[in-house]
Amino acid sequence: MKVIYILWLRQLKRYFRSKARIIGSLGQPLLFFLALGFGFGPIYTKAGGGDYIQFLAPGIITMSVLFTATFSGIEVLWDRRFGFLKETLVAPVSRLRIMLGRTFGSATVAVLQGLIVFGLSVIIGFRPTTMALMPLALFYMILIAITFTALGTAIASLIEDMQGFQIIINFLIMPLFFLSGALFPLENLPKAVVVISTLNPLAYGVDGLRGTLIGTVHFGLLTDFLVLSAMAMLVLMTGAYLFSRIEV
C-alpha cells in the first residue's frame, strides 16, 4: 500500500510544483468555451436547444480530464528512460503496484484539472441545475480519468518513441472526443454516428457528467455507470498487463 501511496503522492507533488503547467492547461478549455460556446451559442438557442454553455460545459470538463489523463502516458515514456520510473522498475516491488500508484496519481491530477475547468465554466456562466448530484459527477470524472490514464499507460508501454505515441493519441483521442457528444447532442444524428457513439466509452462519461450536472441524459445514468466502470476495469487490467511486460 505504501508503495502505491508514494507513487500517487509523487504525481501530485509534481503537479502542484509546476504552476506553469496548471495555468497553461487552462488555455485549451478556455478557447473551446469562447470559440464554441459563444460562437455556436446563438445558433443552438435559435434551434431550440436552450443555453449552449449549459450543454457544453460538461463536455469541456470531460475534455480536460480526457486530455490530461491520456497525455500522462507521455510521462511514462519519458520517465522510463530518464526518470524515477526506471528506478521503480528495478525495485523489489510488483509492477502492478507501480502501475496502480502511477495511474491513480495521474488520474487524480486529471480530476483536479477537471475541477479547475468546472470552476472556470462557472465563471463563464455555467450553472449546474442541482448541487445534490455533485458527488456523483465527481465520481464520473474519476471513472473517466482512470480509464484514460490507464489507456495512456497501456499505449506508452507498447510504444518506444514519443512521435509514435503522439500519432496514436491523435488518431484515437480526437475521434473519441469529437464523437462523444461532448460538443453536440447525440439525438437525431445519422445512424453511423449514433452507432460509433454508442461504442465510444467516452460518450458514457460525457453523458454521466451531463446527467448529473444539468439533468439531461442520453443513455441513462445507470448505463453510463455500468459501461464506464466495466471499461475502467478492462483498460486498467490491460494497462497493468502491458506495463508489467515493459523492458528497457
Partner 1 sequence: MGDQDIIIVQELTKTFNGLTAVDRISFSVRTGEIFAFLGPNGAGKSTTINMLTTLLRPTSGSISMNGHDPTKDPHRVRQTFGIVFQDPSVDEDLTARENMEYHAILYGISKEIRTRRIEELLKIVELWDRGNDFVKKYSGGMKRRLEIARGLLHHPRILFLDEPTLGLDPQTRNLIWNYIKGLNQSEHITVFLTTHYMEEAERVANRIAIIDHGRIVVQGTPEELKAQTGTDSLEGAFIALTGHDIRDEESSHLQHMRERRKIFMKRRR
Least distance from partner 1 to the Cβ atom of residue 104, Å: 16
- Of residues 55 through 84, those in contact with partner 1 by CB under 8 A are 78, 81-84
Residue showing cell 503496484: 97
Encoded one letter per residue, x for contact with partner 1 by CB under 8 A and - for no contact, window 148-187 reads ------------xxx-------------------------
The residue among 109 and 206 lying less far from partner 1, judged by its C-beta, is: 109
Check if the beta carbon of residue 72 is closer than 8 Å to that of residue 165: no
Nearer to partner 1, 161 or 188 (CB): 161
Number of residues assigned to the chain = 248
Of 3, 22, 138, 158, the residue at the interface with partner 1 (CB under 8 A) is: 3
Please count the CA atoms within 13 angstroms of the CA of 4 that sit on its side-chain side: 8
**Out of 12, 22, 89, 138, which residue is the one contacting partner 1 (CB under 8 A)?**
89
Q: Report the C-alpha gap between 145 and 162 in whole angstroms.
A: 21
CA–CA separation, 93 and 134 (whole Å): 37
C-alpha triplet 212, 215, 217: angle, nearest 5°: 90
Nearer to partner 1, 96 or 189 (CB): 96
3-state secondary structure of 133: coil
Q: Looking up cell 463563464, which residue turns up?
A: 124
Pick the binder of partner 1 from 26, 93, 158, 168 (CB under 8 A): 93
**Binding residues vs partner 1 (CB under 8 A):** 2-3, 6, 10, 13-14, 17-18, 78, 81-84, 86-93, 160-162, 247-248
